Structure 1
Amino acid sequence: MNGDTVFIKGLKTEGVIGVFDWEREIRQPLYIDVTMATDIRLAAASDDLTHTLDYKAITDRITQFVAASAFQLIETLAERLAELLQKEFAVQWLQLAIHKPGAIAAASDIGIQIERGEKP
């Protein structure tokens, strides 16, 4: 069994997210963490980016997806984003967290974390 992962932490994005009328009219900052299972051995042996998960391409796609979305719930955003990453980047397993700081005045952060797929 292989336990290799590629991770991205604290990716700052902005999108329309929320259930209140005022939230539907502004873009809010969201921070995304994602850990994705992969086997890095071929990439390490070949020193070839095409043999691993391209975190630049993944971060660009996440940023684009969030910017174009307008979900009410971060739960929906998390689910759709996980589906996109699994489909477009052939990720078998991932853990995804979305942080929405400022959503609750008394809390420094709120968010959701999900895990999808079978961990190798």
Structure 2
Amino acid sequence: MNTDKVALEGMEFYAYHGFYEEERKIGNRFTVDLEVTTNFDQAAKKDDLSGTVDYVQLYEIVKSSMATPAKLLEKLGQEIIDGVFERFASVSEVKVSVAKHNPPFGGICAKSKVTLERTRS
């Protein structure tokens, strides 16, 4: 089993996600980290992008998911995972973390974060 990884770390978005309606109106800053497991053998041997996962396309999957308001970070994470598995047949595992900066619950907290890890079934 290959453990080759492609990762995008610290992707930042201003988006309109949150359980409370006010959060979905005023928006907030979010950070997304994404890691996918694939097989780099062909890319490493042939220096050819078609033998790996194009991180520009990964970014577009995340950007698209972040553009559609959701109540829960868990839903966003699952949408990103579903998009990666749909677009890249070579990906065997996906790990994604979605963080909301300064969550609105009346205390000091830099960010709230969920992390989802899925293996292709």
- TM-score by shorter chain over 0.5: yes
Change over 3 Å in CA distance of 1:89–1:27 after alignment to 2: farther
Q: RMSD value over aligned CA atoms?
A: 1.7
* 1:15-94 equivalent positions in 2, closer than 5 A: 15-67=15-67, 69-90=68-89, 91-94=91-94
**Aligned counterparts of 1:83 and 1:64: Cα–Cα separation in 2:** 12
**Aligned counterparts of 2:96 and 2:115: Cα–Cα separation in 1:** 6
Q: CA deviation at 1:12?
A: 0.8
Give the share of equivalent positions with the same residue, in percent: 25
**Aligned counterparts of 1:36 and 1:43: Cα–Cα separation in 2:** 15
Amino acid at match of 2:39: D
Gaps of 5+ in 2: none
Amino acid at match of 1:115: E
CA contact (8 A) 2:61 2:80 kept: no
Amino acid at match of 1:21: E
Equivalent position to 2:116, from 105, 114, 117 = 114
Amino acid at match of 1:85: V
Q: Which has the higher strand share?
A: 2
Amino acid at match of 1:81: I
- Secondary structure at 2:11's aligned position in 1? strand
**Aligned counterparts of 1:115 and 1:83: Cα–Cα separation in 2:** 11
Amino acid at match of 2:54: D
Gaps of 5+ in 1: none
- The number of equivalent residue pairs is 118
Q: CA deviation at 1:14?
A: 2.6
TM-score normalised to the size of structure 1?
0.89
